[in-house]
Amino acid sequence: MVQTVAVIGAGPSGLTSIKACLDEGLEPTCFESSDDMGGLWKFKEVSEPNRASIYRSLTINIWKEMMCYSDFPIPPDYPNILHHSKILKYLKMYAEHFNLISNIRFKTSVKRVTQRPDFSRTGQWEVVTEDRDGLEERHVFDAVICCSGHFNYPNLPLKDFPGFETFEGTYFHSRDYKGPEDMCGKRVVVIGIGNSGGDIAVEGSRVAEQVYLSTRSGAWVIRQVSDYGLPVDMFNSRFVRVKSKLLPMNLLNWLGEKKLNAIYDHAMYGLKPKHRYEILI
């Protein structure tokens, strides 16, 4: 008997999970709560509750060859750093190429996953789903793969900012940011120097009166393009791995800091962090 698998979510992980199941002779059924595949990479002008959201200008922060599926390269005519629209197009090409779409049930949310009463003997799971009309269904599967992502729920710790109740300006999480239009002529503070914080601060600086980027611990700023115009992560190669075995890590990290400071003097810009730069191998 063919074993059945429930896959929750039709984003990048969900799609490749469907393919892996098919490759192994399993019978996958993917439940996707939205009306399309792509997960995080499906852009919408208005953020939806309990769903990840991206902004209009978002691009990947790694080289396309570092993020593509190993069995389905990104088209060579695509740019090295991809806009979110290109990522979504690529995911759809992947799904069509491997005939995955027929295994996806769109507009269907997973409400509950529980072990069956005979789980100790069968290893089976009960999955309760709900469609857009509120109709619930119960399914039995031999396995469940959860691919629902981890960017669905924003962290907005307002309790850590005394006085925000009387603040007369606008505050929001980066999840609700779509573009810099509402920053025109305003004084803006962006809290957090992660990828989104950096992007939003840069975009806002082009239209706002003043933008402040707030960070507790500083950060090592690494640009996307390295020497000779090549993607910076293109140099994370086997040669670098071999070199890391021959040279002390402290020396390699020092050389990395030296190169980064030659581009941006982190101390001068108030960015120098307390932690050392570390080469990830």
221-232 average pLDDT score? 82
Check residue 280 and give its pLDDT.
58
Question: In Å, how far from its chain's centre is CA 13?
Answer: 11
Question: In Å, how far from its chain's centre is CA 106?
Answer: 21
Check residue 274 and give its pLDDT.
85
- Give 219's contacts (C-beta < 8 A, 6+ positions apart): 193, 271, 273
At 191, the pLDDT band (50, 70, 90 cuts) reads: very high
Check residue 132 and give its pLDDT.
92
pTM of the model: 0.89
At 237, the pLDDT band (50, 70, 90 cuts) reads: low
The 3-state DSSP class for residue 94 equals helix
237-262 average pLDDT score? 80
Residue 262, CA atoms < 13 Å, CB-side half-sphere: 8
Out of 22-31, 61-70, 262-271, the most confident range is 22-31
The domain over range 158-263 is classified in CATH as 3.50.50: yes
pLDDT above 90: percentage of residues in the chain: 67
61-85 average pLDDT score? 93
For all residues of the chain together, what is the average pLDDT?
Answer: 91
* Cβ atoms of 181 and 45 closer than 8 Å: no
* Cβ atoms of 69 and 97 closer than 8 Å: no
The larger pLDDT score, comparing residue 271 to residue 144, is at 144
- According to DSSP, residue 211 is labeled E
Reading the block at residue 264, the tokens are 């941006």
Q: Decide if pLDDT at 83 tops 70.
A: yes
pLDDT tens for 131-180 read 999 999 999 999 999 999 888 888 888 888 888 889 999 999 999 999 99
Look at strands 27-31 and 187-191 and give their pairing.
unpaired
pLDDT tens for 2-27 read 999 999 999 999 999 999 999 999 99
Check residue 279 and give its pLDDT.
66
* Cβ atoms of 176 and 54 closer than 8 Å: no
Task: Report the b/e string of 119-143 with b at 16+ CB within 10 A.
Answer: eeeeebbbbebbeeeeeeeeeebbe
Q: Decide if pLDDT at 281 tops 60.
A: no
Candidate CATH numbers 3.30.70.1380, 3.50.50.60, 3.40.50.880, 3.40.50.300; the one for domain 4-146? 3.50.50.60
4-146 and 158-263: identical CATH topology: yes
User: What are the boundaries of each domain within the chain?
Assistant: 4-146, 158-263
Check residue 230 and give its pLDDT.
79
